[in-house]
Amino acid sequence: MSGQAARSGISFALLLPLLLAAQPVATDSYLPALPAIARELGAASSSLTVFVLAFGLGQLPCGPLSDRFGRRPVLLTGLALYMVAALGSALAIGIPMLVACRALQGFSMAAILVCARAAVRDLYPAHEGPHVMARGLTGLGVVALIAPVLGAYAVQATGWRWVLGGMAVYALGLFVMCFRGFGETRAGDLGAAAAKGSVREVFASASFRAWASVAAATYGGLFCFLLLSPMVYISYLGLSPAWYGWIPAGGSAVYIFSTTLCRRLLTRKGPVRTVQLGSLLSLAGPTVQALGCWLLPHSVWPLLLGHAIYCIGHGIHQPCGQAGAVGDLPQLAGRAVSWSGFGMMAVAFVVGQIASSFVDPQLSHGAWPMVLPMVLAGAVLVMIAYLWLPHLPKTHPRKETP
């Protein structure tokens, strides 16, 4: 390892999953609240879409800033803004205020996740990155398992504003932990190291392009579930918000299993073969959903089964894609993470907008707008895994900064 990860006995192994979990806390716990927000303030899906857009765009400056000034100051600033934005969202009196606060929350979350992912590359060699990310994402899955259930019951018991207030409390706790326990992980002369690299060097890496595409494709499919599943399960199929909350929670339970499976597959088969197996699951899951939409359009079970299978593939792709994108670029970890994250969010935003355009008030297309983008994501992942990753040029590891 390089740098000092801990200052007061709080290990990076504990902080990493909690930092990564800032994303499901901001999204998964928010999903059950969307119908209630729509009834009180108006169309609420724009707040989630803008949040994702801000998260994607925010990663572009956060990566270079963390390369130049260090992970710690950028991370602490992001946590403070996340807390303020969550409080502002809880107090929103209209959709414009809610959208503005959620945009700020998305931008601040970009700083949190960029620094957390870059710190993995700071502290561990490239070949250990996927294993470390898999462990961190297992912890994220635990939080994601709890968040939608708590969000659903909070909506029913106390109202949607308390969901956003809970996000602020989460951010405050993380800020205190990181202020006391997260030391600077970026080694060497920060300014000089950052000045040596460029965006062109990031995109010149064939490894970055391929692995970042894996992460973007799998998240693009999942985002269509995040964006449209409340309308499909609650408005179309008639589930209550509390029952719906168990659906993303169940997906998170599967995700926990799949990240654990990913670590075992990486040890036995290596990253390329692991992603190839995952891609078959990513295509099989939405294929089951599509058959359900065709043959049993008002049944929830094919959708649930297909989502579970897709989540297994997603839990394999994310650790490999996120760590693989930065593995060849140790001195540009912040920039590589930021552009990889931006690619994920850009794909999610575009695909989500196209899918949403097919949703009308009568939900006449049923679950198809949610399912077809996931089928496309699975097909793209199969092509990347079998036609691109095996043919990446063999690169020599870069010399690590001591």
Q: Position 382: which residue type?
A: V
- Count of residues for the chain? 402
Contact 328, 395 (CB under 8 A): yes
pLDDT digits (tens, 9 = 90+) for 37-81: 888 887 777 888 788 789 889 999 999 999 888 999 999 999 999
Do the domain assignments include residue 1?
Answer: no
Among 289, 312, 308, CA closest to 299: 289
| Rounded Cα gap, residues 386 and 327, in angstroms | 20
**Within-domain flag for 402:** no
Residue appearing with tokens 């959708």: 303
Note the pLDDT tens digit of each residue in 236-269: 999 987 788 788 778 888 989 999 999 999 999 9
Phi (first) and psi of residue 86, to 5 degrees:
-65, -40
Asked if 255 contacts 144 with a C-beta cutoff of 8 angstroms, the reply is yes
Can you give the residue range of the structural domain that contains 213? 12-183+198-391
Enumerate the β-bridge partners of residue 182.
6
pLDDT above 60: residue 395: no
191 located within any domain: no
In a domain, 400, yes or no: no
| Direct distance between the N- and C-terminal alpha carbons of the chain, in angstroms, rounded to an integer | 9
With left for phi above 0 and alpha for psi between -120 and 50, is residue 9 left, alpha or beta? left
Residue 234 host element (H or E): none
Name the average pLDDT for the chain: 88
DSSP state for residue 340 in the 8-state scheme: H
Which of 192-196, 239-243, 340-344 reaches the highest mean pLDDT?
340-344
Do the domain assignments include residue 3? no
Domain presence at residue 6: no
Q: Is 169's pLDDT higher than 80?
A: yes
The position carrying tokens 């993380």 is 174
Structure tokens at 259: 């990240």
pLDDT given for residue 86 in this prediction? 95
The Cα angle at residue 222 between residues 354 and 147, in degrees rounded to 5: 125
Q: Hey, what are 203's tokens?
A: 């995109």
Average pLDDT over residues 171-175: 95
Within-domain flag for 19: yes
Please report the pLDDT score of residue 401 as a whole number: 41
Residue 220: predicted pLDDT: 94
Quote the pLDDT of residue 275.
97
Give the pLDDT score at 81. Answer: 97
pLDDT tens, residue by residue, 369-389: 999 999 999 999 999 999 999
Least confident span in 110-124, 169-183, 204-218, 386-400: 386-400
281 lies in some domain: yes
**CATH classification of the domain holding 279:** 1.20.1250.20
Kindly state the DSSP code that residue 182 receives in the 8-state scheme: B
The pTM (predicted TM-score) of the whole model is: 0.81
Whether pLDDT at 4 is above 60: no
Q: Total structural domains in the chain?
A: 1
Q: Does position 193 have pLDDT exceeding 60, yes or no?
A: no
Within 13 Å of residue 55, how many CA atoms lie on the same side as its CB? 29
Distance, in Å, from the CA atom of 254 to the CA atom of 248, rounded to the nearest integer, reads: 10
State what percent of residues in the chain have pLDDT above 90. 55
> pLDDT tens digits, residue range 277-331?
999 999 999 999 999 999 999 999 999 999 999 999 999 999 999 999 998 888 8
12-40 per-residue burial string, b: 16 or more CB within 10 A, e: under 16: beebbbbbbbbbbbbbbbbbbbbbbbbee
Amino acid identity at 94: G
Tell me which residue of 182, 170, 172, 155 sits closest to 44, measured CA to CA.
155
| 221 burial via Cβ count (<10 Å: 0-12, 13-18, 19+) | buried
- Per-residue pLDDT reduced to its tens digit, 301-314: 999 999 999 999 99
- Answer yes or no: is pLDDT of 170 > 50: yes
Write down the residue that tokens 């010149």 correspond to.
204
Q: What is the mean pLDDT of residues 157-182?
A: 92
